[in-house]
A = this chain, B = another copy of it.
Amino acid sequence: MNPAECSVRAALNIIGGKWKPVIIYYLMEGTRRFGELRKEMPDATQKMLTQQLRELERDGIVARKVHQVVPPKVEYSLTPYGRTLRPVMRELCKWGEKHMAGKR
CA distance A101 to B14 in the complex (A): 15
Q: How many copies of this chain sit in the oligomeric assembly? A: 2
- Encode contact with B along A13-55: 1 for CB under 8 Å, 0 otherwise: 0111000011001100000000000000101000000000000
User: Could you tell me how many residues of chain A have their Cβ less than 8 Å away from some Cβ of chain B?
Assistant: 37
B9 pairs with A22, CB closer than 8 A: yes
Which B residues are in CB contact (< 8 Å) with A93?
Answer: 4, 7-8, 11
| CB within 8 Å for A88 and B97 given contacts A1-B22, A1-B41 | no
| A interface list, Cβ under 8 A from B | 1, 3-12, 14-16, 21-22, 25-26, 41, 43, 60, 84-85, 87-93, 95-100, 104
